[in-house]
Chains A and B, each alone.
Chain A
Amino acid sequence: MRVTQSMVTSTATIYLMRDLDRLQAAQQKIATGKNYTLASDNPIAATQILHYSSRIAESEQYRRAIDSGLAWNEMTSSALTQVEELLSDILDVSQAVSDGAATSAERAQSAGAINQLLEELVMLANRKFKGKYIFGGDETLTAPFTANYDDAGTLVTGVTANPNGIDGLWGYLVSDVDTVTINTPGSEVFQPNGEGANDDVFVILTDLRAAHEQNDLDALHTQEERLREAILSVADVNAGVGNRINHLESIGEDLDAAVLSYEAQRSELEDADIAEAIIEYNTAENIYQAALASTARILQFSLADYI
């Protein structure tokens, strides 16, 4: 084949450019640490990378929701434990004077103690976490319980719940399909059968206090029995919260494992193997240098040098 100078020049230029392009691609891989910069570099991998990235982001969001749910439930559980203890204290106070030996004066005194503990319980039932009433249901910004006092302003005559309802449930989305209920409504803890029912904790306590005041032993024993049941019921609720905490923790662990696996798969696709990239770079550099050297030489020769 006839070869002309301009063929040599243009071929040399084309190959030099290709070699340089390859060198640049290898350099880019090292500099960015990524295998691909455009979707067209590898459309399938690009789609998978996108998919994994959005799954990871989503899982991290679920993880945050779980953490926030765990914090809420731990706070709920600690409040419930305090409620249990407070109710037990009241029972203790009452039992100290519940046999026939105690005098009416002693019972009047214990009535005062019960009243004080009842006020404490109302405060506990109105406890807030992160600015929200723990036992307010979905009416998180309104105190769930209001204590009403007698004319003297000392005795709690009754406790009324927020008329808008304290039984609202709310949950968090912790996976694509699971919405887990997070809150424990105050009604479940303090008024399982509604305000004013026999098992309304506040009714039990006001009645118990009244029994002490009036020195009514029968009523006293009835209310003590109801209080015992109420303590068990709060303990049950607390156990349920504990189960929920375990459930959330196990979902969280599953999520962590899933995120790890997504990250590993994404990294497999996305991250450049630096050792391999450097070898690629060195190869490209050698080829480029060899091409430069040979191009420089081949363009020097001419018959003119010999005539």
Chain B
Amino acid sequence: MGTIFSSLNVGRLGLLAQQYAMHVLGNNIANVNTEGYTRRRVIMAPTSSVEFGSGLFFGTGVKVEDVQRVRDTFLDVYLRNELGTLGTLDKSNAAYKQIETIFNELSDQGRSLSTVMTEFWDAWQTLSTEPENSAMRQTVVSNGASLASTFQHMRDRLYGLRMDMNTAVSTTVEEVNTLAAQLQELNAQIVASENEPHTANDLRDQRDLIVDQLSKLAGVTTRDFGDGEMVVFINGQMLVSGNTVRTLETAVNADGLYEVQWSDTGGAVDPSGGQLKGLLDARDTTIPSYITRVDALATQIIKEINRLHSQGNGLDLYTTATSGVAVSDPDAVLDSAAGLAFEDEISTGSFWLAVYDADGTLLEEQEISITAGVSTLNTVAAEINADFLANGYLQASVSNGEITIDLDAGAPSGATFSFVKSDGTGDTSGFLLAMELNTFFTGEDADTIDVSSVIQNNPSLLATASSTAPGDNTIALAIGNVRNDTFVIGADTDARTFDSYHEMTVSTLGIESAREGSLLTNQENVVEAFEQQRQSYSGVNLDEELTQLISVEHAYTAAARYITTIDKMLDDLLSIA
């Protein structure tokens, strides 16, 4: 049997242990609302027993063996996987919602592309009922301008959205770098401060929180080698290991977009999940696919309207006409080497130039032939000049890659010319369409589409007729009816009308956006379920802590009472003397 003082020491250790336990409880309660906090549990163990020479072993009290985090690391791994997917879906869903707003098809506010297209066709059909009416001509011009600006505006907003995603890529990369640096620091601190088997709980909580954030940003995976260090990978490539951290950087590529790469090797970073993947997918796949569709529609509309328009006459005929586009080289073959956006439309055929006097009587008309693979802008100009040499009514000149056709010295005052033969035969070569001569639109896609300035300045040049009669509405009718014709637009395989192509775009967008939306909702539920599980395991329950509080308080009171009792015993012992 030891001394009475050793019994006193048992009481002291009891008091101390309960005080520690109380402290940890207090810390748990204080951190009930702290994000990433893992509840702690005090592990108590008896101190080693002592044999007091009687052959019997007596306990010597209690000690706090460890303060443990209550955490399930498997749950962490699952949760982080799901967080990565959530991050991706989050961003791609945001992109889809934005694109839908840009298309703005079902809303009463603003004017959607389909409305503006309909108004444009309506204006042409109305013009076909009154081709002489200059107010109707003005309406067609302004509805055409409104169609062009709607295309441009949509294209601008889609492009702007793409740039927003691009900026977000750069911001996300910076965030990943900051977090990775913090993580590396924590790794070092944890290794330095941990002393087996005790763990640096607060540092680990912080590190777990950072890994969660990294997962959401870049879909990282982790490996814990048990020595206190955590190794972090992005799609299998190391981001943080031990004391080293690699940084990501953004490099501007040929399209002016940020490419994410490793700073040290310059190798591409291809995240398997996380917001970064969502942003890159939206920027490089989703948004461009809709830009392409909008462009393809605009291109086809420009092409079909211009094809018909270039074969018609307006109320006024031309006194001078300059091509709206320039070739890169006037000696280059037009249909393959001259850099024309619509060079594919040029084929062997011919167009006509007809000169009329002031009274509208035909003076001369000549057929200008185009031969695929042979004709260049200079040969066309030369042919015009040769054909009209005898009377000197017309001359053509080429400058800066543009062709200009003018009345020549021989033309009587008030003479005008047209691109249509007097019997109504128009261009069969596609030359006028490709060079933007006598066309309604200029441009080649949704970005560049506009109503030709020639037409804007003089709507009487708007072609409605295939003859010079003001009441002839043949061309206006044909253009008004283009809405019912079908074309294989863009990368489509089937022929569709403009309207139904656009309807397809909107329905694809709707279906994809709805799918992304429901994937996101599901993913949110999955993450929520895992987070609940983690909380359920690691979170602080106040009632539980309070229950513990009562029990620890009682233990403390009992230990104190025990000390008082031993004290009395000492008093009794001393009073013997």
- Determine chain B's interface SS by DSSP, over half rule: helix
A57 touches B506 (CB 8 A): no
Q: Find chain B residues with CB under 8 A from A47 CB.
A: 503-504, 506-507, 510
Which parts of A1-47 form the interface with B (CB within 8 Å)? 1-7, 10-11, 14, 32, 34, 36-44, 46-47
Shortest Cβ distance from B325 into chain A, in angstroms? 31
Given contacts A1-B536, A46-B106, A140-B132, contact A61 B543 (CB under 8 A): no
Q: Are B103 and A170 in contact (CB under 8 A)?
A: no
Nearest chain A CB to B165 CB, angstrom units: 19
Given A40-B510, A46-B510, A3 contacting B536 (CB threshold 8 A)? yes
B543 close to A39 (CB less than 8 A):
no
Chain A residues closer than 8 Å to B114, beta-carbon distance = 50, 53-54
Contact of A11 among B128, B502, B532, B542 (CB under 8 A): B532
Is B129 among interface residues, defined by CB-CB distance under 8 A?
yes
Hey, what's the 0/1 contact readout for B432-476 against A, CB within 8 Å counting as 1?
000000000000000000000000000000000101111111100
Contact A170 B472 (CB under 8 A): yes
CA distance A9 to B502 in the complex (A): 46
Residue B517 lies at the interface, judged by CB distance under 8 Å to chain A: yes
A170 to chain B, nearest CB (A): 5
Q: Which of A6, A34, A53, A69 gathers most chain B CB within 10 Å?
A: A6
Say whether A238 faces chain B, with CB atoms less than 8 Å apart: no
Stretch of A130-138, A192-200, A240-248, A254-262 at the chain-chain interface:
A130-138
B13 beta carbon closer than 8 Å to chain A: no
Residue pair B125, A173 in contact (C-beta under 8 Å): yes
**In whole Å, how far is A73's beta carbon from the nearest beta carbon of chain B?**
13
Verify if A116 is at the interface (C-beta below 8 Å from B): no
List chain B residues, Cβ under 8 A from A60: 122
A170 and B473 form a contact (CB under 8 A): yes
With both beta carbons as reference points, the residue of chain A lying nearest to B511 in the complex is identified as A43
Partner of B465 from A3, A61, A64, A138 at Cβ < 8 Å: A138
Specify which chain A residues have a CB less than 8 angstroms from the CB of B514 in the assembled complex: 40-43
Q: Which of A38, A57, A176, A183 contacts B484 (CB 8 A)?
A: A176
The chain B residue sitting closest to A55, CB to CB, is: B499
Which A35-94 residues have C-beta < 8 A from chain B? Answer: 36-44, 46-47, 49-51, 53-54, 57-58, 60-62, 64-65, 68-69
Q: Does B228 contact A (CB under 8 A)?
A: no
Cβ distance B313 to chain A, nearest Cβ, rounded Å: 12
- A-B contacts at CB below 8 angstroms, number: 192
Residues from chain A with Cβ under 8 Å of B542 in the complex: 5, 302-304
**With a CB–CB cut-off of 8 A, which chain A residues contact B328?**
none
Closest-by-CB residue of B relative to A69 is: B129
Which of B129, B481, B500, B546 lies in contact with A68, CB distance below 8 A?
B129
Does B350 make an interface contact (CB < 8 A)? Answer: no
B134 nearest CB across to chain A (Å): 11
Q: A50-B114, A61-B126, A173-B128 are in contact. Are A40 and B472 (CB under 8 A)?
A: no
Q: Which of A6, A131, A136, A176 contacts B535, CB < 8 Å?
A: A6
Does any Cβ of A come within 8 Å of B130's Cβ?
yes
> Please, which residue of chain A has its CB at the minimum distance from the CB of B473?
A170
Chain A stretch 87-103: residues in CB contact (< 8 A) with chain B: none
User: B113-149: contact bitstring with A at CB < 8 Å (1 yes, 0 no)?
Assistant: 0110111011001101110110000000000000000
In the complex formed, the residue of A with least CB distance to B107 is A37
For B108, the chain A residues whose CB sits under 8 A away are 32, 34
When distances are taken between beta carbons in the complex, the residues of chain B under 8 Å from A182 are 129
Report if B243 contacts A (CB, 8 A): no
Q: Which A residues lie within 8 Å of B543 (CB)?
A: 302-303
A194 to B88, CA, bound (A): 78
Query: Shortest distance in angstroms between B516's beta carbon and chain A's nearest beta carbon?
Result: 8
Q: A222 contacts the other chain (Cβ, under 8 Å)?
A: no
| Closest chain A residue, CB of each to CB of B504 | A47
A164 close to chain B: CB less than 8 A: yes
B452 → chain A closest CB, angstroms: 24
The size of the chain B interface, using a CB distance under 8 A, is 70
How distant is the Cα of A285 from the Cα of B509 in the complex, in angstroms?
32
Q: A112 in the interface, Cβ–Cβ < 8 Å?
A: no
Q: Does B471 contact A183, Cβ atoms closer than 8 Å?
A: yes
Say whether A50 contacts B539, CB under 8 Å: no
Query: B547 near A: Cβ within 8 Å?
Result: yes
**Chain A residues with Cβ under 8 A from B125's Cβ?**
61-62, 65, 173
B227 within 8 A of A: no
Q: Indicate if the CB atoms of A4 and B539 lie closer than 8 Å.
A: yes
Which of A1, A40, A53, A171 is close to B517, meaning CB atoms less than 8 Å apart? Answer: A40
- Cβ contact within 8 Å between A38 and B100: yes
Contact between B122 and A50 (Cβ–Cβ < 8 Å)? no
Residues of B within 8 A of A54 (CB): 114, 117-118, 499, 503
Q: Does A123 contact B (CB under 8 A)?
A: no
Q: Is the CB of A39 within 8 A of B100?
A: yes
B480 at the interface (CB under 8 A from A): yes
With A36-B106, A140-B471, A168-B471 given, is the CB distance from A5 to B506 under 8 Å?
A: no
Taking A6-B32, A58-B122 as given, write out 14 further A-B residue pairs in contact, using a Cβ cutoff of 8 Å, ordered by the A residue number: A5-B539, A7-B536, A10-B535, A34-B108, A40-B96, A41-B510, A47-B504, A51-B503, A64-B129, A69-B129, A136-B471, A140-B471, A141-B471, A177-B484
Interface pairs A-B: 5 shortest CB-CB:
A43-B510, A39-B510, A140-B471, A4-B539, A40-B513
Sample 21 A-B pairs with CB under 8 A, ordered by A number. A3-B541, A4-B535, A6-B33, A10-B531, A40-B96, A40-B512, A43-B510, A43-B511, A46-B510, A47-B507, A50-B114, A51-B503, A68-B130, A136-B471, A138-B473, A139-B469, A168-B471, A170-B472, A170-B474, A270-B106, A302-B542
Q: Chain B residues in contact with chain A, CB under 8 A?
A: 32-33, 96-97, 100-101, 103, 105-108, 114-115, 117-119, 121-122, 125-126, 128-130, 132-133, 360, 465, 467-474, 477, 480-481, 483-484, 499-500, 502-504, 506-507, 509-514, 517, 528, 531-532, 535-537, 539-544, 546-547, 549-550
